Amino acid sequence: MDLLNTLVDKGLRRELPTREEALAVLATSDDDLLDVVAAAGKVRRHWFGRRVKLNYLVNLKSGLCPEDCSYCSQRLGSDTGILKYTWLKPEQASQAAAAGLAGGAKRVCLVASGRGPTDRDVDRVAGTIKAIKEQNEGVEVCACLGLLSDGQAERLREAGADAYNHNLNTSESTYGEITTTHTYADRVDTVTKAHAAGLSACSGLIAGMGETDEDLVDVVFSLRELDPDSVPVNFLIPVEGTPLAKEWNLTPQRCLRILAMVRFVCPDVEVRIAGGREVHLRTMQPLALNLANSIFLGDYLTTEGQAGKADLEMIADAGFEVEGADQVTLPEHRATAGGGCGSHAESGCGSHEDAGCGSHAGGGVCGTAAAATATATEARTDLVAVRRRGAGTDLAPNA
């Protein structure tokens, strides 16, 4: 297929595909799916070999959020039955992180619900970062605390944070349909602040909210322009009690095409399969490792994920290897541009000259009827389980 040959060549040169080419990937048939995966897999292996980076989420503060994001179980006024608790103490967060690190994770992602941190919250998280780093040499720490005010990114960097996550979630044109309490521009501003402070920026999307192909391409092209080092691709987990609980628009094949498109547009960045892989990729998860070079280990913020042991077995059985703490995730041209992830060089982590790409949230909710029909799938509510273990509980996590 000429399209795939062209996309492979562009991916190996870090050249941006056209919008038409990106849309064509999403429009490929199931008969061509293995060819699409094989082509994107060439680009993934060229830049990342067969390494899979493991990341581990610690939910520092669950629920109690004033924002109204339609996809989120922690949203304002939600009745989802999730765990709700205020800030974990540094020693509690460090203990939670240790479980993931023992399972093979090299990055700990510290997440707190809310619009954004107060300065006191930043101090609190700084103490948590210190506790985790003192007990785990070489660990990467990413903070995800919402919208940042001036100076807060710099303070997190000084505290030892290596990265900051803030997802764009969906296209700018449809953002107002999923959230009204803040804007798309607010999110772009926070990613920009993280970059400017020398933090490795992490920003991605959520697919499966009824978005059109055009919405998906719009957000991924916007991410490439923002140039994060890491791009999490979330697949909507339709949690009962949220406005999008009935949105079951994804098939495993659709998910694979989306991941392939992201890889072609963002060839040399860490593409991470994030929330929802167990729900929507299901038995096709191992195939997705040919497209993404990073996953979350174990549970998510408010829902259960695949057991950590099963994640490790999946990686090994698929012929991949877990990335070690002594290995640099990013290709040399990106890592050296900012001194590597975890480095506090002035330019941060990632090459900005190529307008690279960088995302728990997803596409718009204004998908066309044709798109919804083409991707309709059975509602697998049996695969959605609220987290009742790990951080904020007395039970061990499944890392």
Residue 65, marked binder:
yes
Report the pLDDT value the prediction gives residue 63, as an integer from 0 to 100: 87
- Of 36-45, 146-155, 340-349, least confident by mean pLDDT is 340-349
Q: Is the pLDDT of residue 359 over 70?
A: no
- Looking at the domain covering 2-383, what would its CATH class be? alpha beta
Using alpha carbons, select from 297, 296, 287 the residue that is nearest to residue 320. 287
Report the pLDDT value the prediction gives residue 344, as an integer from 0 to 100: 33
What is d(CA 232, CA 391) in angstroms, rounded to the nearest whole number? 22
Residue 357, marked binder:
no
Residue 255, marked binder:
no
Tokens standing for residue 39: 């082509």
Residues 178-235: tens digit of each pLDDT:
999 999 999 999 999 999 999 999 999 999 999 999 999 999 999 999 999 999 999 9
Q: Find the mean pLDDT for residues 233-253.
A: 95
Average pLDDT, the chain: 90
- Which one is catalytic: 14, 44, 75, 109? 109
Residues 26-79: tens digit of each pLDDT:
999 999 999 999 999 999 999 999 999 999 999 999 988 999 999 999 987 778
Q: Find the mean pLDDT for residues 171-183.
A: 95
Q: Is 142 a catalytic residue?
A: yes
Report the pLDDT value the prediction gives residue 337, as an integer from 0 to 100: 73
Residue 341, marked binder:
no
Domain locations in the chain?
2-383
pTM of the predicted structure, to 2 decimals: 0.90
- Which one is catalytic: 224, 272, 277, 334? 272
Q: Is the pLDDT of residue 248 over 80?
A: yes
- Which one is catalytic: 14, 65, 144, 254? 65
- Which one is catalytic: 14, 44, 107, 142? 142
